[in-house]
Structure 1
Amino acid sequence: MILYLHFGDPQPDPAYRRLLDMVGEFTPVAQALPPDAALADVSGSTRYFDRDAAGLAALIRMRAAALHGLDVTVGIGPNPLLARLAAHRGEPGAIRTVPDDPEAITRFLAGLPASALPGVGPATARTLASYGLRTADRIAATPLLTLQRILGVATGRELRDRAAGVDPSRVTAGAPPRTVDAEHRFGQDESDAARRRAALTHLTEQLGARLRDERQTCRVLTLTVQYADRTGSASITRSRTLPEATAHTPRLRATAHALHGALGLQRARVRSLALRAGDLGDAASASRQLTFGPDDDRARRIEAAADRARARFGAGAVRPASTAGMR
């Protein structure tokens, strides 16, 4: 059985590695999903610890609470997809199990919103809803050719498998993939949304330049906003998977602004903004969506020229006017 462990808020890299080491005490087959989750295959550990998967999950939760003060949410399932869905279906801080039984899997997926399935973003969810396909069981019951006409051949097949709880992927052991982070702290609590957007523009300029300098791309962008509330301070984190792996600053900037806008923090007093580029990959092996206009190619040529200027004259040599004075 597979455990999906959600640690709550995104964890700083040292703390995250300690959590992963703790999971490694129960199974050597643990896969990092930074900054706040991990997968663990405990199929070979149940006999050694003389406990079933739920028992091992309870031990991990107790250890995390005692050593790190975290209330870990655990989903258990016969594959990574079902374990992840189980963890997120309900209140945090619990253990939820999907048995390895076809009828139990069907009952679990009945009524699950289409948007809960990996890869179904707002646009895809709206498209599916226009055809009356709002839940996983409705999608799973739809003829494959119909889904492929709606979404395309590969996407339609993949979504139908996920809606039926089919996931051929395996837990891959290894160290957590490296991430690239950038943070901006305001001199005072900032309530001006335009200034917050300018700070996000500055952060995406930093992230994009670093990724390109290291010949990397990212597939996931995470925004963490720390803001003032009546108790002192609080934070909120949102992530978005990009349509394709990229290091192109305009794509990162658009995604960061969309994440910020979706939070609805118009009147909030924000103390800091942090962006994390995750799911990094080698830029040489990244695919790129073809375009039919010159604008994208022109933007990339300008970006390359700006990178050369920064390499020669320093990081602040080229920057958007709205970010002047920011560090």
Structure 2
Amino acid sequence: MSKASNKWIMHVDMDAFFASVEQRDRPECRGRPVVVGAQPGSRGVVATCSYEARAFGIRSAMPISEAFRRCPDAVYLKPDIARYVQASQQVMALLETISPVVEPVSVDEAYLDITGLERLYGAPAAIAKRVKDRIRQDVGLGCSVGIGHNRLIAKLASEYRKPDGLTVVLPEQVEPFLDPMPPSNLRGVGPQTLKTVQRLGIQTVKQLRGMSRELLNGYFGEKMAGSLYRQARGLASDQVGERGARQSISKETTFNQDVTDRDHLRSTLRALASEVGYSLRKAGLKGWVVTLKIRLAGFETHTRQRRLAVPGDSDSGLFKVAWDLLEAAAFFEKPIRLIGIGVSGWDADEPVNLDLFTSSEADTRERQLYSVLDSAAERFGKGKLSFGVPTPKKKK
């Protein structure tokens, strides 16, 4: 997108969303470190935490045991999905009163196209303040808002002064805004890319922008080099609400410390399968191929695939296949850095026999449960609402 574009894109990101809902609804939690996720003594992880808890170094996806070690006096709460969904619905409905073009990308963030709304609400900064004030007054929660001429700059701007931030980046301010940022702030810069960036001595986006496209190709490969080249110049899509067809749906997580514990891997994989299942059902898709992704220490990456007898979108079904693949691969003796699950193959020609998905009373109950959960969360993109739907117990 050229700097001459007159588009204004807003990114709204709720601050510590789950924890903030808890602090709003529980006066005794206000001003205290709050951790939402697994309970101390279990093998689960932190879903999110308040900014008071983050002061102790606690963060999302951290093992709950480590969070408790850092702050045993925090308030530890199990997720209350129904209340989070209700709060999110209020936020998204409010945003739709501001702009006719709203794209929720998760339960706690959304993009808005606010181009032309200056005539109604004033300058972009005034629109951002209006959004923040309305969310605070009507929903009782805080958020950070970023505005720029494309999605990348809007997203980076919303992250710039969290929590309770408001940042507008004008076209002529894009490069000065990006210059001091570490390359890790850019989209898609994972551990392996960051390792190469650090080896090259690149500490800022400005330094990255000084590298030629050819040189970037040599170090990062053509695809990643192109992304880095564009992002370093603040170039990105300015389209909101338009998404292309997806070829696969996947979810992965990188552990803070390499993991060998089977229970930890099992609970993590179950949660990931739940998020993928949610995304599949929301998109109206059933996939034929389940892919397990494993990254070992030293960034050694492996994938395993299995084709299903019938296409599926069941959380428990996807988890079972992925877990079988993990057991068959015999990786348990090696430290695992990353684990992920993906589903693809909905364009296959084989017909879908829907009767196969309701072959038992347990299957029926499970799909009814999915229907209830999904309908409550259907307006929000990536499945952040999913914490793992347990497999129905077999009758004795």
TM-score by length of 2: 0.49
From 179, 188, 199, the counterpart of 2:267 = 199
1:268 corresponds to = none
Query: Do residues 75 (structure 1) and 146 (structure 2) align?
Result: yes
Aligned match of 1:97: 168
1:215-241 alpha-carbon deviations (Å, 9 max, x no partner)? 357xxxxxxxxxxxxxxxxxxxxxxxx
Q: Given the alignment, which residue of 8, 11, 27 partners 2:15?
A: 8
- Counterparts in 2 of 1:146-185, with a 5 A limit? 146-172=215-241
Q: For residue 4 of structure 1, give the secondary structure of its aligned residue in structure 2.
A: strand
Residues 280-323 of structure 1: CA deviation (Å, up to 9, x unaligned): 9985369xxxxxxxxxxxxxxxxxxxxx99865656xxxxxxx9
Instruction: Please state if 1:284 is matched with 2:284.
Output: no
The one-letter code sitting in structure 2 at the alignment partner of 1:41 is D
Q: Deviations over 1:28-65 (max 9, x none)?
A: 1221111211111212111022x111001111111101
The answer as to whether partners of 1:86 and 1:96 remain within 8 angstroms in 2 is yes
Pairwise CA distance, 1:194: 5.9
CA distance, structure 2, for counterparts of residue 212 and residue 83 of structure 1: 28
Separation (CA, whole Å) in 2 of partners of 1:204 and 1:31? 23
Q: Any idea what the Cα deviations from partners look like across 1:151-172, whole Å, max 9, x if unmatched? A: 2212211211011111133122
**Of 247, 260, 285, which aligns to 1:215?**
285
1:81–1:165: 8 Å Cα contact kept in structure 2?
Answer: yes
Q: Say whether 1:27 aligns with 2:89.
A: no
Distance 1:208 1:21, change over 3 A: closer
Cα distance in 1, alignment partners of residues 143 and 200 from structure 2: 37
Residue 137 of structure 1, CA deviation: 1.3
Deviation at 1:100, TM superposition (A): 1.8
Q: List gaps (5 residues or longer) in structure 2.
A: 1-7, 19-83, 244-248, 250-260, 288-302, 307-312, 327-335, 349-354, 364-389
Is the Cα contact below 8 Å between 1:39 and 1:171 reproduced in 2?
Answer: yes
Offset at residue 90 of structure 1 (A)? 2.8
TM-score (norm 1): 0.59
The answer on whether the counterparts of 2:102 and 2:111 sit within 8 Å (CA) in structure 1 is: yes
Question: Offset at 1:106?
Answer: 1.5
Partner SS, residue 145 of structure 2: strand
- Are 2:111 and 1:39 aligned? yes
- Percent identity, please: 20
> Is the Cα contact below 8 Å between 1:5 and 1:74 reproduced in 2?
yes
Q: RMSD in angstroms over aligned alpha carbons?
A: 4.0
Corresponding residue for residue 18 of structure 1: 90
Could you give the per-residue CA deviations for residues 71-117 of structure 1, whole angstroms, max 9, x where no partner exists?
A: 1101111111111111112331021121121xx21111112111110
CA distance in 2, matches of 1:154, 1:196: 34
Aligned amino acid, residue 85 of structure 2: D
Distance 1:173 1:32, change over 3 A: farther
In the alignment, does 2:193 pair up with 1:124?
A: yes
- Could you tell me which of 187, 201, 209 is aligned with 1:140? 209
Amino acid at match of 2:222: V
Q: Distance between the aligned counterparts of 1:109 and 1:211, measured in 2?
A: 33
Structure 1 residues 215 and 168 mapped into 2: Cα distance closer, same or farther (>3 Å)?
A: closer
